[in-house]
Amino acid sequence: MTTPEPQAALPDERRAHLVELLRRRGVVRVNELAAELDVSAITIRRDIALLSSQGLIRRVRGGAVPHDGAVADALAGRENGGEAEEAVSLPRSAPDRAAGEGRQLTIGMVVPSLTYYWPDVIRGVREAAAAAGARVVLRGATYQAADERHQLSRLVEAVGVDGLLVAPTITGDDGEELVRWLQGVGVPVVLIERTATVGPHQEAMESVVSDHAFGAAMAVRHLASLGHRRVGLVTTVQSPTTPHVRRGWRQACEELGLRLDGTPDITSVDQWDPGWPEALDGVLDAAVGSGTTALLVHSDPEAISLLERCEERGIRVPGDLAVVTYDDEVAELCDPPLTAVRPPRAAIGRAAFALLSERLADEDPERPTHRVVIEPRLIVRSSSSA
């Protein structure tokens, strides 16, 4: 005879048990409650938020403590005479569910810069959050894992956010430690323009990214269609986008049979570095010396600086050298206007919020990990005209 599996506690039963644990122990952490009650940390945080809004418990950093008063009686009254939660049709969206609990969904967001590239991503998140009635708490970091972790910790522990959108540093020992911390932080996390794996089986974290490799390949195909047989690449050493752009550039060149031997493939300092003028001349010398007639440059500031140096050296763009930039922040303001690959920044922000919202709304612990990839666009302008 097969023994039936025990049924999960009903929501009010679970919350009554939660309150009883708080009474006995004084303070209980979210992860401890989740393990003891055999539910997700997300469910426990929702329970805490609901009980707190009703004045039955008090939220503290990372957990909760009981309020004085007839907590058990209040819960029992709701089970016996009030509305039983299991009899209510719950909304599917996390913001609507939060509204049903008498509170506003709060999302924490940490990005490495509040200026270049990221403002449009932030705008996409803000627009999606506003449409959903959710609140976004934004923090800017400095491409340093320690700073990012500090900002994230404050959002989780002091602000008490329901979930996190983050573009973390994932390289180096500090970056790897930050990824492990994010995996165990106790709230849902969606990576923006980053991918990471965790655990012994290298399981992916949820993420929303631009397909930068595809964008670079589009640029190469465009230039090859204009007859260019040597398409060089210029990237900056500190950019997390560089490896993806290089992969797409190389794959497209190989597929199209473009020559790579001797073609410039240069990773240099950026234009703010004192060594940039020398590096820039090195790029142009390599292009002229190898017969390279087109360059893909990441990102806009470096591409604009390159065009200025071409003019000073009498190199005609696009007559002698076609140029395509990657990012399209200010590319159209150049002379000539730069052909550009434009990552879908606002769409990335909207998709990241949607993915996090769906994760918050779905309490199924077996929900599969989602990784969203969005394609960039190629905007053709004068710097690569035939």
What pLDDT shows up at residue 73? 42
- Range with the lowest mean pLDDT among 1-5, 107-111, 153-157, 211-215? 1-5
57's enclosing H/E stretch is: strand 57-60
Q: Are strands 207-210 and 231-236 parallel, antiparallel or unpaired?
A: unpaired
Backbone angles phi, psi at 373, to 5 degrees: -120, 125
Q: What is the pLDDT of residues 324-355, one digit of tens each?
A: 999 999 999 999 999 999 999 999 999 999 99
- Range with the lowest mean pLDDT among 37-51, 229-243, 327-341? 37-51
Note the CATH number of domain 212-343+379-384. Answer: 3.40.50.2300
- Range with the lowest mean pLDDT among 19-33, 271-285, 366-380? 19-33
Class of domain 11-89: mainly alpha
With a CB cutoff of 8 Å and minimum separation 6, the contacts of 383 are 307, 317, 318, 322, 323, 324, 325, 334, 336, 337, 338, 339
* Residue 79 or 177, more confident: 177
Are 296 and 264 a contacting pair, CB within 8 Å? no
Average confidence score pLDDT of the chain? 86
Place of tokens 């939060």: 98
Are 266 and 280 a contacting pair, CB within 8 Å? no
Tell me the Cα Rg of the chain. Answer: 26
Render 169-230 in DSSP notation, one character per residue.
--SHHHHHHHHHHHHTSSS-EEEES---EETTTTEEPPEEEE-HHHHHHHHHHHHHHTT-S-
Listed by start position, the domains of the chain span: 11-89, 104-211+347-376, 212-343+379-384
Task: Report the distance separating Cα 234 and Cα 271, nearest Å.
Answer: 12
Structure tokens at 234: 């210029």
Report yes or no on whether pTM surpasses 0.95.
Answer: no
What pLDDT shows up at residue 8? 54
Q: What is the pLDDT of residues 55-93, one digit of tens each?
A: 677 665 455 555 544 433 443 344 343 332 221 222 335
Shared fold status for 104-211+347-376 and 212-343+379-384: yes
| The CATH number of domain 104-211+347-376 is 3.40.50.2300 | yes
